[in-house]
Amino acid sequence: MEASVARAARRPGPAVCHSWAMDAPPTEAAAVRDLVGRLEAARDAADRIADRPSLGLRAVEAEPGRRSYVAAFEGPAFLCLAGDLTAETSARRARQAASASLLWEYAEARVDAEALRALVQAIGRLLALGGEPAEVAEPLEVVAARALELAAWRDDPLRAVASVPDLDVASRLQERLVGAYARFVRASDPLVERQDALDPGLIAALRAVEEAAGAAGAGERLAEQLARALEECDEGAGQMVAANLVRLRGE
C-alpha cells in the first residue's frame, strides 16, 4: 500500500500539469489545475503535521462531497487529513478513507487503459482481414466501442481522486463491455464449431482477440470483483488506521 500510494500521488510537475491543460477542455483543465493545487497543499500539510516528508498522498472521496487525503510515510505509517487539511481525528472516517483508497487501488489494477486499447487493436486486426460473418463483425465493433469508453474513463486525469462514487460509473461502463463481449462470444460459437475449415490467419486473429479480452477484463464484471475485495480492503484499512500518526478517537 505504501508504495502504491506514493506512486498514485506524487506531486505532479509543471510540465505534466501543462500537458493536461493543453489536452483538456477549458472546464476540465481548470478542474485538473485545482486538483493539482489541492494535492500539493495537502502534501505540504501532511509533511508539516508529521514533521517528516511523505512518500505520497492520495485524495479520497469515500462518499459524495466529502474529500479527505491519505498520506503514506516511512514505517509504514499513515496520516489521514480532513478536507480542510487538518489531521483527521475520527477513527471511523480515517478507516473509511483508507478502505476507499485500497478499493480504488484494486480497481485501478483491473481497469487498465493500455490493455483496453490493446483489445481494440486486436479487434481492428481481425476486422481488417475481412471474410468474417456480419454476425461476428457487428458485435466486435460494439466491443471495441465499449472498450474505448472505459479506457477514456480510466485516462481522465481526475481519476487521481480515489472516488468511491466514481467506481459506480466505472462498473456500469465495464458491465457494458462485459455484455458486448458475451454477445460476441455467442455469435462466434458457430465459427468455433467449424474452425478446421477456416483460414489459419482468421483463427489466429480470433485467438488474439480472446487473449486481449482476457487481459482487459472483459470476461468478468468489475462490480463482482470489487465486492469480493471489500473484506480484504477493510482489513488493510484497519492496519493503516493502527499505523496512523495522529491519535484517533472512536465513535
Q: Is the pLDDT of residue 9 over 50?
A: no
Residue 115 main-chain phi, psi, to 5 deg = -65, -35
The C-alpha angle 90, 96, 101, rounded to 5 degrees, equals: 130
Please write down the long-range contacts of 34-40, taking CB distance under 8 Å and 24 or more positions apart.
Answer: 35/59, 35/157, 35/158, 35/160, 35/161, 36/12, 38/67, 39/9, 39/11, 39/12, 39/69, 39/160, 40/11
For the stretch 218-248, pLDDT in tens is 999 999 999 999 999 989 999 999 998 888 8
The confidence band for 187, taking pLDDT boundaries of 50, 70 and 90, is: confident
Sheet with 162-163, edge to edge strand ranges:
77-81, 66-73, 56-63, 162-163
Which 3 state secondary structure label does DSSP give 125? helix
Q: What is the pLDDT of residue 41?
A: 93
Domain boundaries, the chain: 2-109+230-242, 112-228
> Can you name the CATH fold of 112-228?
Four Helix Bundle (Hemerythrin (Met), subunit A) (1.20.120)
Which 3 state secondary structure label does DSSP give 95? helix
The amino acid present at 231, given as its one-letter code, is E
Rounded-to-integer distance, Cα 216 and Cα 114, Å: 8
Rounded-to-integer distance, Cα 104 and Cα 160, Å: 10
| Cβ atoms 73, 89 nearer than 8 A | no
The confidence band for 85, taking pLDDT boundaries of 50, 70 and 90, is: very high
Rounded-to-integer distance, Cα 241 and Cα 111, Å: 27
Q: Is the pLDDT of residue 114 over 60?
A: yes
| Cβ atoms 42, 59 nearer than 8 A | yes
Which 3 state secondary structure label does DSSP give 74? coil
Residue ranges of alpha helices (H) inside 111-156 are: 113-129, 134-155
Please state, rounded to an integer, the average pLDDT across all residues of the chain: 84
Mean pLDDT value across residues 170-181: 96
For the stretch 194-215, pLDDT in tens is 666 667 777 888 889 999 999 9
Which triple of cell numbers denotes residue 195?
474452425
Residue 214 main-chain phi, psi, to 5 deg = -65, -45
Rounded-to-integer distance, Cα 135 and Cα 211, Å: 20
For the stretch 39-60, pLDDT in tens is 999 999 999 999 999 999 999 9
